[in-house]
Structure formats: structure tokens, C-alpha cells
């Protein structure tokens, strides 16, 4: 019967119920979208690294974390030295730079990348044949409405789109290495941000990582593909973890405030009803229970709205920003988001519940 009263109360004041649930839903959506974006971007970056076909990555020691948007630079001269090492089948110096938020342009020997990756899959056009030609992936082409032959200005110079390739190899935009180095004033002496290494036997990766680290003597750090992929996880990005915690905390705070306000006004509005229940013999804990259950239902409705909004947001982001924002659905986080919504709601219901439970029945019954 208490459950029926809870549902009838929520149904009776449906606009407030819907608005409160909607605000909780927006918070749930924020969390799920943030996590979906984080995981999507990391997964997509990992997949592009994997798509290069490299077994080992050589990165400058001063490049900071393995995953960094601002890579350090190192002399390209290391490439021929590494190429001479035993079991090294191919080396590919790469200069990557950011051209927009979360979008990088990579300068590379395109024929070499074609060979190392097992063949770039062109959807339109051909491989660049002149210094000012570039390849863009399908997502970047779609987001910027680019086709073969179109001109685009990047790094303060014009480029011509030679081809549109399937995504998943190195970067969204691939250009000749020398052209990117020139645009970035890193040509004299030529510098790169990383060197990709393919071995003649991938089974030897761990041994060769150790060997390369030894011969490079601290000038570059060799990292296996496996290690690179394992680094593309939220757990390996302390800053991202902190950011997610802050957003989660804000979600709990907003959930708390919304439910607090909703329940507080409900308690004031329903003073007389609470008095009636008390006159009928409702114990203080029954009154608290009533409000807590209302808050629980609100948070669960809000959670459902939030999951639906998050799925809709994923579709919208994928349609509108396929290149710059890669997002995935994160069903594993749905129960966590539910717990966050419930915790916020329960905290919000606590004080109003206590206030209602302490209300004097006689005063409540005379409330107009």
C-alpha cells in the first residue's frame, strides 16, 4: 500500500516528477557520455596505433606520458640507425601534430605506411603523389564534407585531398613526412615525434624492445604495441580519472540538490497529508520510508531517461562529429550511473524525510 501511495504521489504531481527525473537523467547522461567519449577516443586511438602494423614504437624520453597530445620531438637520424639493428624489417619515422582538438595530422612516408600497415584501404582517389597532397580518413571526410580534389587549409598552408581512406591507420590526416616537417619548421635538422618499427618476427617483440632500449641508451624509449594498447585505458590516465571523479561528484551533488528541493517542497506541500498518516498511526520511519521510496523511484526514472539520452547523444555525436569525437555506448557503466543517481537521491531525501518524520501531527493536520 505504501508503494501505491508513493506511485500515486509521483503520478499526481507528474510535472514535478518528470522535471526532477529529467534533471537526474541529464546528470546520468553526462556521466555516460563522458565515459563513452573517453573510452571511445581511447579505443579509437588504440585501434589507429594497431592499424599501423608496427610492433614497436620509439618515442622521445622527454615526451612525457606514453599517451600525450603534445609529443616531444627527436632527430629523424635515429631511424636509419634503428633500421640497421638485427630483426628490424622496417622503420617508419612519423611527425604527428594536432590540427584541431583531438584531431592529429601525421607526416609519414606514405608508401612505407602502405607497406607496414598491410595496405591502406582507399575508398576514393589515390595515394598522394605530390608534397601538398594528403589522405583523409572517412570520418574526417564526412565531418568536413571533403572529397578527392578538394582543397583544405591546415598548418597554415593549402593541401589537396588525394584520397579518402578507411579509418583506423595512424591518424585522421596523412601527409608526406617532409611537407609536415616543413610546415612545423622541423626540417633542419629533420625531426620526428615517433618512429614505428616492424620486426621480421613479431614473436621477438619483448626481446627487441629490451635490445633497442639498450642500444638507444636513453635517447628514445622503445614500447611494444601490446604496452601501447594497454596504456589506452582510463585507469592509465590519472588526469582523466580525476576528471571523471569530478564529474561524478558533480552528478551526485546535482542529484542531491534536485531531489532535496523536490522532496523538501513535497514535504511542505504535503504537510497535511503527513499529519493524516501520523494520525492513522504512521511511525516516523514509515514517513521517511515513504519519501525515500519516492526519491528512489525518481532516481530510477531519471536513470532510465539518462541511459536513453546517452544513447541518443552517442548517435548525435557520431552523426555530427564522426572525426573529432569518437564515442561508444558503455553498458558496463549503466549500473554505476544508477548507483550514482540513487546515492544522490537518497542523500537528497534524507533531510526532508527527517523533517517530515519530526512534524507534529496536530500542527500538520491544521496546515492549510
Residue numbers of the site for another protein (CB under 8 A)?
1-2, 4-5, 8-9, 11-12, 272-273, 275-283, 286, 361-362, 365
Angle between helical axes of 238-269 and 334-358 (0-180°, round to 10): 30
CA–chain centroid gap for 31, Å, is 10
Question: Which residue's CB is nearer to another protein, number 280 or number 332?
Answer: 280
Question: Which residue's CB is nearer to another protein, number 200 or number 363?
Answer: 363
Separation in Å, CA 39 to CA 225, 326, 332, 351: 18, 9, 12, 37
CB of 2 to another protein, least distance (A): 7
Ramachandran assignment for 125, one of left (phi > 0), alpha (psi -120 to 50 degrees), beta (any other):
left
- DSSP conformational letter for 245: H
Question: Which residue's CB is nearer to another protein, number 237 or number 277?
Answer: 277
Q: Would you say the C-alpha torsion 341, 342, 343, 347 has a positive or negative sign?
A: positive
Task: Answer whether 344's CB lies under 8 Å from 306's CB.
Answer: no
All three cell numbers of 16, joined, read 514535478
Task: Answer whether 27's CB lies under 8 Å from 249's CB.
Answer: no
Question: Which residue's CB is nearer to another protein, number 126 or number 285?
Answer: 285
CB of 362 to another protein, least distance (A): 5
Question: Which residue's CB is nearer to another protein, number 13 or number 50?
Answer: 13
Question: Which residue's CB is nearer to another protein, number 12 or number 147?
Answer: 12
Using alpha carbons only, how large is the chain's radius of gyration in Å? 29
Task: Answer whether 75's CB lies under 8 Å from 190's CB.
Answer: yes
Amino acid at each position: 500500500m505504501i508503494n501505491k501511495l508513493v506511485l500515486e504521489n509521483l503520478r499526481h504531481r507528474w510535472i514535478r516528477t518528470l522535471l526532477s527525473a529529467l534533471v537526474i537523467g541529464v546528470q546520468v547522461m553526462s556521466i555516460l557520455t563522458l565515459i563513452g567519449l573517453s573510452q571511445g577516443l581511447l579505443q579509437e586511438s588504440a585501434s589507429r596505433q594497431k592499424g599501423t602494423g608496427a610492433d614497436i614504437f620509439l618515442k622521445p624520453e622527454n615526451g612525457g606520458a606514453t599517451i600525450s597530445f603534445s609529443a616531444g620531438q627527436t632527430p629523424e637520424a635515429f631511424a636509419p640507425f634503428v633500421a640497421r639493428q638485427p630483426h628490424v624489417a622496417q622503420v617508419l619515422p612519423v611527425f604527428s601534430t594536432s590540427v584541431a582538438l583531438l584531431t592529429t595530422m601525421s607526416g609519414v612516408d606514405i608508401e612505407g605506411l602502405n607497406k607496414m600497415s598491410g595496405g591502406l584501404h582507399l575508398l576514393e582517389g589515390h595515394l598522394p603523389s605530390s608534397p601538398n597532397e594528403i589522405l583523409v580518413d572517412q570520418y574526417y571526410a564526412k565531418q568536413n564534407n571533403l572529397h578527392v580534389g578538394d582543397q583544405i587549409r591546415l598548418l597554415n598552408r593549402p593541401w589537396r585531398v588525394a584520397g579518402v581512406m578507411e579509418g583506423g591507420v595512424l591518424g585522421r590526416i596523412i601527409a608526406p613526412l617532409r611537407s609536415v616537417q616543413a610546415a612545423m619548421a622541423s626540417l633542419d635538422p629533420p625531426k620526428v615525434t615517433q618512429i614505428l618499427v616492424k620486426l621480421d618476427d613479431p614473436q621477438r617483440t619483448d626481446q627487441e624492445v629490451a635490445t633497442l632500449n639498450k642500444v638507444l641508451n636513453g635517447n628514445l624509449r622503445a614500447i611494444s604495441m601490446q604496452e601501447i594498447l594497454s596504456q589506452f585505458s582510463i585507469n592509465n590516465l590519472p588526469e582523466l580519472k580525476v576528471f571523471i571523479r569530478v564529474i561524478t561528484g558533480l552528478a551526485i551533488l546535482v542529484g542531491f540538490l534536485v531531489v532535496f528541493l523536490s522532496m523538501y517542497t513535497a514535504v511542505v506541500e504535503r504537510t497535511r497529508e503527513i499529519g493524516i498518516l501520523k494520525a492513522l498511526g504512521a511511525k516516523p520511519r514509515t514517513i521517511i520510508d515513504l519519501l525515500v521510496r519516492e526519491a528512489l523511484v525518481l532516481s530510477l526514472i531519471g536513470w532510465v531517461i539518462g541511459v536513453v539520452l546517452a544513447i541518443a547523444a552517442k548517435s548525435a555525436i557520431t552523426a555530427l562529429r564522426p572525426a573529432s569525437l569518437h564515442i561508444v555506448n558503455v553498458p558496463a557503466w549503466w549500473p554505476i550511473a544508477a548507483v550514482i543517481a540513487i546515492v544522490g537521491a537518497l542523500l537528497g531525501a534524507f533531510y526532508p524525510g527527517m523533517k517530515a518524520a519530526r512534524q507534529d501531527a496536530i500542527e500538520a493536520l491544521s496546515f492549510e
